[in-house]
Homo-oligomer: A and B are copies of this chain.
Amino acid sequence: MIQSFIKYLEKPIFNNPILIVGLPGIGNIGKIAVKFLISELTAKKFGILFSPHLPYQVVISEAGLIRLLSNEFYYSTSEKDTNDLIILTGDFQSQTIFGQYEIAEVIIDFCKEFNVKKIITIGGFVTGNIEDPPKVYGAINHPSLNSWIEQFAVEPCDFGVPIVGAAGLLIGLARLKEIDGICLLGETSGYIMDARASKAVLDRINTFLKLDINLTKLNEMDQESQEKVDKIKEIEKGEGISKKLKERFTQKERDLSYFG
């Protein structure tokens, strides 16, 4: 394989589709969020993106069975005749500069082919003081989408802040093809798989897209995560190892390479 491509299991015809992207990243907020969406909407897998810019490994998908690393497209048709949803998640983001851009191009080409006019990407934003529920930051890819900031009830990202990885890059590149996009970033400590931040982001998507999904199931995951945070905080008090943990997780962000 020398170029990224999408293998289709089927090619559905969509009604005003919106793409929601949640790939591994800081706190795995995007991946947790969209995997929950996929499960709740019983969304159907229809496309698999393979790439020579993903790590050169395979993963055991069920006992004794391997599969290539990939990003995967799911869809859920709307019962209310509004927007169909396409959901993208995956094992990894590319770990090279060129790879990130090449994969993003394949995804944007997908959007053009399937007439996707709106993209919502989900990521995490590391801050020191996390509110309960965590804040959600937002950034749009065109001034004309300003009302989205209000409709999603998000805090606009501050001037100058960089957003690293596919969540930002995809809506940046989408603009070049006249596709609207918003990036939603859940506030997180970056220490843990942060289901609480995922829930905060999904809450906004739920409202904006009128999905009526019950998010309470995420509380359980949230609680598990929170217990870990509490333990970390305790340890921090006692032994001051927070620095090590922070370093470890900063490293992980950089790698963009842990499973969710």
Contact = CB atoms under 8 A, between A and B. Distances in A.
Interface stretch (A163-171, A191-199, A208-216): A163-171
Nearest to A138: B64
Interface string A143-186: 10010010000001111111111101101110110000001000
A60 B58 CA distance: 34
B52 A97 contact: yes
Given A104-B1, A105-B1, A176-B7, A140 B64 contact: yes
B160 A56 contact: no
A52 B168 contact: no
Interface string A93-120: 0111111111011000000000000000
A259 interface: yes
A97 B97 contact: no
Kindly report how many copies of this chain are found in the complex they form together. Answer: 4
Contact of A57 (B58, B94, B99, B164): B164
A55 interface: yes
Given A57-B168, A168-B57, A64 B173 contact: no
Interface stretch (A37-45, A65-73, A244-252): A65-73
Contacts of A96: 97-98
Contacts of A58: 139, 162-163, 168-169, 171-172, 183
A13 interface: no
Nearest to A146: B64
A61 interface: yes
Given A52-B98, A60-B160, 5 more contacts: A52-B100, A52-B101, A56-B104, A65-B139, A97-B99
